[in-house]
Structure 1
């Protein structure tokens, strides 16, 4: 009689059980890594917004025209606040302002309302965004839902 080669049903069930147990421990780690990646992306955008604001402000002051409402940043016109105060040259919270000052907003969509630009992930993620407010150019992040 020939001996048959292969796995028994019991062996297959044991292997599937072990894989299921491993998956139970691996999935929460994956979810945590995803949340950490979203927080890192928000913080990266925050750094970009702060840098773009500083660069626009420096360019505005270097030109010295206190009545100007735009500055040229690498061929892109950026709408800024005019004047001589501390907020002079800060990009406004519109698509022609802070969004134009940023080199890239890949992965984010922006909405604008009364001097406030809110950047959300292109995928639906609640309570995980960045808010830019003019004329001071303040940046606030919300990461509780990441």
Structure 2
């Protein structure tokens, strides 16, 4: 009577390792660019926070005309205003959207433009610009692309 042998042969084990190696070689490049995608998503999230904060501050300013006269409105802190919108400064839209200089590079290029850049990729950015004293601010996100954030 023969004894039943169980287990895998050495050749079978080597073939499994080869197949796994080939699969890994094709799959790894698909998952290698997570940092660029994460950077782009973080910047898009910050842009959304700025849009929301701008609308909330404008609503709060319209509800309290004395705040517009004083040049600041209390929305989780004193937010600096230009007209009835958040000012394009760190104490304006930066504070309203709770953007941290530890997370982003904050740049005030001119008196009317607030620019938020990624810490490692300066081309990955968006801007918040006031056209006039009480006009709707423009939030430009055209530089938020995969090419700029990779």
TM-score (norm 1): 0.71
User: Runs in 1 of length 4+ with deviation above 6 angstroms?
Assistant: 14-20
Q: Quote the Cα distance in structure 2 between the aligned partners of 1:138 and 1:39.
A: 20
Q: Quote the Cα distance in structure 2 between the aligned partners of 1:99 and 1:52.
A: 9
Say how many residue pairs are matched.
133
Write out per-residue CA displacement over residues 39-61 of structure 1, whole angstroms, 9 at most, x where no aligned residue: 22122111100111011111111
Q: Quote the Cα distance in structure 1 between the aligned partners of 2:103 and 2:19.
A: 37
Alignment correspondent of 1:7: none
Alignment correspondent of 2:148: 145
Query: Is the 1:93–1:134 contact (alpha carbons within 8 Å) kept by the matching residues of 2?
Result: yes
1:108 to 83, 89, 104: 104
Offset at residue 35 of structure 1 (A)? 2.4
What is the alpha-carbon root mean square deviation over aligned residues?
3.0
Provide structure 1 residue ranges, at least 5 long, that are not aligned to the other structure. 1-10, 82-87
Helix, strand or coil for the counterpart of 2:62?
helix
Alignment correspondent of 1:118: 115
TM-score (norm 2): 0.69
Decide whether aligned partners of structure 1 residues 64 and 125 sit closer, same or farther in structure 2, where only a CA change above 3 A counts.
Answer: same
Query: Is the 2:72–2:78 contact (alpha carbons within 8 Å) kept by the matching residues of 1?
Result: yes
Decide whether aligned partners of structure 1 residues 111 and 104 sit closer, same or farther in structure 2, where only a CA change above 3 A counts.
Answer: closer
